[in-house]
A and B are shown apart, each in its own frame.
Chain A
Amino acid sequence: MIRFEHVSVTYAGAGAPVLRDVCLDLAEGELVLVVGRTGAGKSTLLQAINGLVPHFTGGTLAGRVVVAGRDTRTHPPRELADVVGVVGQDPRAGFVTDTVEEELAYGMEQLGVPAATMRKRVEETLDVLGIAPLRERSLDTLSGGEQQRVAIGSVLAAHPSVLVLDEPTSALDPPAAEEVLAVVTRLVHDLGMTVVLAEHRLERVVQYADRVVEVLGGGGVRCGPPAEVLVASGVAPPVVELGRLAGWDPLPLSVRDARRQAAPLRARLERRSVAGDWEPAQSPRAAPALSAQGVTVRHGAVVAVREVSLHLRSGEVAGMMGRNGSGKSSLLWALQGSGGRQAGRVDVGGRDPSRLRPLEARRVVGLVPQDPADLLYLDTVDAECAEADRACGPAAAGTASGLLDQFAPGVDGGAHPRDLSEGQRLALALAIQLSAGPGVVLLDEPTRGLDYAAKAALAGVLRQLAGEGRAILVATHDVEFVAAVADRVIVMATGEVVADGATAGVVTASPAFAPQVAKILAPLAFLTVDQVAGALAVRA
């Protein structure tokens, strides 16, 4: 179906090729998972399938890419639209029309499908994806999961035989991600579609994959059955890590497979209780670093945050979870003092950050927003660091670049902030916000677009900051990240706190929020592979 023949891609001005001599042959009806570190070239590989590379992105492509017998050299993306459907990372950025129904029809209109056929196919597509109730909705009003399903539907309606999805679940909460992946697997199994999918959070998809293509750092690829590729892969979900640790063979890819092999491991771990590790480290009498009482945030008629009270203690990392739109961001902004707050009090060391001038408020509470790029506006990393120090006064010279070196060693000071990887850009934003020395640090969705290694590095940085006596609050959808880093989890829904307690208790209370290791080893209260390794080491 899709054939890569000795494909190398070199972007203009780049020293080394992104892909080097790639040969692949993907058969019809396969679900192919593309994995790799951030910036390894996953997107380039995906975009080469329908010719966006190099027709749209520029650069040089050597070799041949043939899809359904058509060579992308002679067929630009628009001439492959009837064969390949592409859905990008942010579905909203690709919407061309106003309503769901028109969006589904758009691709067919371009292909010149007769009007009667179009009506029929739109109805079919609405049913296949389960979005019939949304048909007249304006695209702006859809939730993230709904947008992603509409985006898939809009390419599906044109009846392509290949579907290319670039990180379809990276912005979604766990239930919405399940929804989208359920649709994708159904397309493969019921319609025999070929699906090529790139994803960072392998724990969500690896069990559905027929084949895994790992894009290695140097531009090469490794391709094979999932278990074979992941045994030696640089990126692996917790279930695979646990399998490697326990030496299971064949390597399990799903919680079910792992659980069936886990009985001996559970027996080995049984004698050691880890519940004691998850007692709150502080004495209850320790004064909270930040305390909020009855915080309410309204956007027009909608109450985004309803009378939330919460305390953050020094030296504690708290995770905040909840579906898209449950009020997490609104609460973070209200706590920082920059966002609106219609009622309630926030007290940080006797001061209310919303009453301070912005320059003062950031010395008290630092917030890294969802898109760190919003904070940056200068041409180079060094200039951004210098600017951050200047804002803090003459004594602060070198603080920001020092912090950046510590969080992400080896970032080129002359680089443009837009050219950094997601992880490096996040580190830069964090360094800028920490240069003011706030005692409370809030992070909004920092794990978006980070691979496992970058997430582990971020977890290390957050633990270190907590160790220095700061209070950290991280809003995220990533269960595994929360399990690895947080002492405490707060769950929000419709603007209210519905759960607040020690991580182990909260995340294991609901399957949707439980990390893979907890599911495999239940009823034992292990959350991460590191904990298991630690327990085994103690026993040995």
Chain B
Amino acid sequence: MSGMSRWWSGRVPRDLHPVAWWVWALGLGVAITRTTNPILVALVVSVLGVVVASRRGDAPWARGLKYYLVMGAVVIAVRVVLRSVFGGDVTAGQAVLFRLPRVPLPSWAAGVQVGGPVTAQEMLAAVYGGLVLAGLIACVGAANTLANPRRVLRVLPRALYEVGVAVVVAVSVAPLLVEAAQRTRRAQRLRGRPARGLHGLRAVAVPVLEDALERSIHLAAAMDSRGYGRRGEAPARVRRLGAAGLLGGMVGISVGAYGLLAAAGPGWVEVMTLAVGIAACVAGLALGGRRVRRSSYRPDAWRWPEWAVCVAGLVPAAVLAAGLGAGASGFNPPTDPPAWPSVPLIPAVAVVVAALAAVAAPPPRRAVTAGPGGEHRARAAAPASPPPPAGAPAPSLSPAVPP
């Protein structure tokens, strides 16, 4: 294959490997955790927005980024409110914005203050901290928007296959739950019951939950009858060994991590426990994987665009983690006294590099939503959910003329 044709084969519309999107998004997430500079954080979120807008598919989950952004805004708001209620300490030179009435607390709650003066410095710190959290949420949201959650499941180690059942059922049943809730609310109106209050909640929740349970059981039965979780070639002894390895490894990792964090300094015992735990886990996953035998239809390809997207995401992570171009104040602009954050050139350029993912990734495949003659399904006939366009021709019925 010549270089040129290989280049083109990377440009044909297809879905990028989901792992590439997750590496890219987590790279930006790592970058965000290294800074509280609002301009850098805003830059990262804009990069996420640009890439999502240009490379998302048209599946339902691909329209989800705005919900993650709303969630981020809520996080910022909650942080600001909490800080203004529980702050209330003023040191010299801080600008007081407003004062909340102070709530007297009993003596045993010393150290906790409710109400009091709220300073600009405190608010600024709250907003900066909130922005970082919101940025992280946006990173996860972007990955979920760009990568099909079910295709992500396929790259899970085979030994964790059972976890897959729960996730598939949840992913499939959740949208149906929303539809069932709408349908039930409408049906309850037919009984003349206002769907309000505890009574109304029960009238909707009981049928919806029963419906969801029934559907989950149906789906699990369908998956089972289609061969999900078939035994592979591995003998029972190997399977048990795999499970034991995984479990023991998990315990080892937990103990090791606890030791590392709790001890005054990392001792070699803790490091060894952690290492042995990780090794046992890996061995357990490998052994456990042998009990499941399955193949993959049209496995996701890993070509140069995947590498390019990964690199684009890892560049800002590496630059910010290494502190390149941090300047005197580092990546954390001073809040006391407040100063206009400067834009460090090298990290900003590194973040913009991540936007190249929008160019490197091939355009997504557009799902065909309705072909000619597409009618909507029987359920959609109920007005609870809007039907897709009905392009079906009229039936060959002669007008009503009784013979």
Chain A residues packing against B (C-beta within 8 Å): 50, 52, 55-56, 76-82, 84-86, 88, 90, 92-99, 102, 105-115, 118-119, 122, 133-134, 136-138, 140-144, 147, 154-155, 158, 171-172, 175, 278, 297, 299-302, 304, 322-330, 333-334, 336, 338-340, 357-362, 366-367, 369-371, 373-378, 388, 391, 418, 432-433, 436, 444, 491, 493-496, 498-502, 504-506, 508-510, 512-513, 523, 525
Kindly state whether residue B237 has any CB partner on chain A within 8 Å: no
Q: Is A510 within 8 A of B222, CB to CB?
A: no
Task: Classify the secondary structure of B's interface with A.
Answer: loop
Q: Is B381 within 8 A of A325, CB to CB?
A: yes
- The answer to whether A499 and B399 touch (CB under 8 A), given A92-B377, A96-B168, A336-B190, is yes
Nearest chain A CB to B233 CB, angstrom units: 10
Contacts of A77 on B, CB cut-off 8 Å? 221, 224-225
Q: Is B383 within 8 A of A329, CB to CB?
A: yes
Q: Is A299 within 8 A of B190, CB to CB?
A: no
The one of A111, A112, A377 that contacts B206, using a Cβ cutoff of 8 Å: A377
Contacts of B300 on A, CB cut-off 8 Å? none
Q: How far is the CA of A325 from the CA of B386 in the complex (A)?
A: 11
Q: Is A508 within 8 A of B150, CB to CB?
A: no
Contacts of A111 on B, CB cut-off 8 Å? 227, 230, 294
Query: Which B274-326 residues have a C-beta within 8 angstroms of A?
Result: 293-299
Q: Is A112 within 8 A of B295, CB to CB?
A: yes
Q: Is A138 within 8 A of B59, CB to CB?
A: yes
The one of B186, B370, B402 that contacts A339, using a Cβ cutoff of 8 Å: B186
Give me 8 A-to-B residue pairs in the complex whose CB atoms sit less than 8 angstroms apart, sorted by A's number: A79-B230, A85-B225, A94-B221, A98-B148, A143-B376, A325-B390, A373-B211, A494-B394
Q: Is B397 within 8 A of A509, CB to CB?
A: yes
Q: Is A141 within 8 A of B207, CB to CB?
A: no
Q: Is B398 within 8 A of A96, CB to CB?
A: no
Query: Which B203-235 residues have a C-beta within 8 angstroms of A?
Result: 203-204, 206-207, 210-211, 215, 218-231
Q: Is A297 within 8 A of B383, CB to CB?
A: yes
Nearest chain A CB to B211 CB, angstrom units: 8
Q: How far is the CA of A143 from the CA of B379 in the complex (A)?
A: 9
Q: How far is the CA of A113 from the CA of B296 in the complex (A)?
A: 8
Q: Is A108 within 8 A of B297, CB to CB?
A: yes
Contacts of A366 on B, CB cut-off 8 Å? 190
- The answer to whether A502 and B402 touch (CB under 8 A), given A115-B295, A358-B193, is yes
Q: Is A377 within 8 A of B202, CB to CB?
A: yes
State which size class the interface on B falls in.
35 or more
9 closest pairs, A vs B, by CB?
A505-B402, A81-B227, A94-B222, A501-B400, A299-B386, A105-B297, A110-B227, A374-B187, A359-B192
Contacts of A97 on B, CB cut-off 8 Å? 150
Most buried by B among A96, A111, A491: A96
Q: Is A95 within 8 A of B401, CB to CB?
A: no
Contacts of A336 on B, CB cut-off 8 Å? 190
Q: How far is the CA of A265 from the CA of B154 in the complex (A)?
A: 64
Q: Is A508 within 8 A of B403, CB to CB?
A: yes
Q: How far is the CA of A420 from the CA of B191 in the complex (A)?
A: 20
Most buried by B among A80, A171, A338, A362: A338
Q: How far is the CA of A388 from the CA of B221 in the complex (A)?
A: 36
- The answer to whether A94 and B219 touch (CB under 8 A), given A78-B229, A112-B293, A340-B383, is yes
Q: Is B227 within 8 A of A78, CB to CB?
A: yes
Q: How far is the CA of A388 from the CA of B395 in the complex (A)?
A: 41
Kindly state whether residue B392 has any CB partner on chain A within 8 Å: yes
- The answer to whether A302 and B227 touch (CB under 8 A), given A140-B377, A509-B397, A510-B396, is no
- The answer to whether A324 and B225 touch (CB under 8 A), given A301-B389, A369-B382, A377-B202, is no
Most buried by A among B150, B296, B299, B368: B368
Q: Is A52 within 8 A of B224, CB to CB?
A: yes
Nearest chain A CB to B51 CB, angstrom units: 22
Contacts of A432 on B, CB cut-off 8 Å? 191
Q: How far is the CA of A90 from the CA of B150 in the complex (A)?
A: 22
Most buried by A among B187, B188, B371, B390: B187
Q: Is B224 within 8 A of A76, CB to CB?
A: yes
Kindly state whether residue B157 has any CB partner on chain A within 8 Å: no
Contacts of B183 on A, CB cut-off 8 Å? 369, 371, 374
Kindly state whether residue B342 has any CB partner on chain A within 8 Å: no
Contacts of A513 on B, CB cut-off 8 Å? 397
Q: Is A329 within 8 A of B222, CB to CB?
A: no
The one of A95, A115, A498 that contacts B299, using a Cβ cutoff of 8 Å: A115
Q: Is A333 within 8 A of B186, CB to CB?
A: yes
The one of A108, A137, A493, A495 that contacts B368, using a Cβ cutoff of 8 Å: A137
Q: Is B222 within 8 A of A93, CB to CB?
A: yes
- The answer to whether A118 and B297 touch (CB under 8 A), given A93-B215, A324-B377, A374-B183, is yes
Contacts of B207 on A, CB cut-off 8 Å? 373-374, 376-377
Q: How far is the CA of A148 from the CA of B375 in the complex (A)?
A: 14
Nearest chain B CB to A417 CB, angstrom units: 10
Q: Is A509 within 8 A of B192, CB to CB?
A: no
Kindly state whether residue B64 has any CB partner on chain A within 8 Å: no
Q: How far is the CA of A523 from the CA of B403 in the complex (A)?
A: 10
The one of B194, B225, B402 that contacts A81, using a Cβ cutoff of 8 Å: B225
Most buried by B among A136, A171, A374, A433: A374
Q: How far is the CA of A300 from the CA of B194 in the complex (A)?
A: 25
Kindly state whether residue B387 has any CB partner on chain A within 8 Å: yes
Q: How far is the CA of A322 from the CA of B395 in the complex (A)?
A: 9
Nearest chain B CB to A403 CB, angstrom units: 15
Nearest chain A CB to B190 CB, angstrom units: 5
Q: Is A109 within 8 A of B299, CB to CB?
A: no
Which residue in chain A gives the minimum CB-CB distance to B215? A93
The one of A107, A144, A304, A509 that contacts B398, using a Cβ cutoff of 8 Å: A509
Q: Is B399 within 8 A of A498, CB to CB?
A: yes
Q: Is B226 within 8 A of A96, CB to CB?
A: yes
Contacts of A300 on B, CB cut-off 8 Å? 386
Nearest chain A CB to B377 CB, angstrom units: 6
Contacts of B392 on A, CB cut-off 8 Å? 323, 325, 493-494
Q: How far is the CA of A430 from the CA of B59 in the complex (A)?
A: 39
Kindly state whether residue B261 has any CB partner on chain A within 8 Å: no
Which residue in chain B gives the minimum CB-CB distance to A448? B378
Q: How far is the CA of A136 from the CA of B371 in the complex (A)?
A: 10
Q: Is A510 within 8 A of B378, CB to CB?
A: no
Q: How far is the CA of A326 from the CA of B377 in the complex (A)?
A: 10
Nearest chain B CB to A150 CB, angstrom units: 11
Kindly state whether residue B338 has any CB partner on chain A within 8 Å: no
Q: Is B375 within 8 A of A143, CB to CB?
A: yes
Kindly state whether residue B172 has any CB partner on chain A within 8 Å: yes
Query: Which B221-261 residues have a C-beta within 8 angstroms of A?
Result: 221-231
Q: How far is the CA of A331 from the CA of B385 in the complex (A)?
A: 14
Which residue in chain B gives the minimum CB-CB distance to A106? B226
Q: Is B189 within 8 A of A110, CB to CB?
A: no
Q: Is B297 within 8 A of A122, CB to CB?
A: yes
The one of A102, A158, A339, A501 that contacts B383, using a Cβ cutoff of 8 Å: A339
Nearest chain A CB to B27 CB, angstrom units: 27
Q: Is A171 within 8 A of B378, CB to CB?
A: yes
Kindly state whether residue B100 has any CB partner on chain A within 8 Å: no
Q: Is A56 within 8 A of B221, CB to CB?
A: yes
- The answer to whether A112 and B188 touch (CB under 8 A), given A325-B381, A358-B193, is no
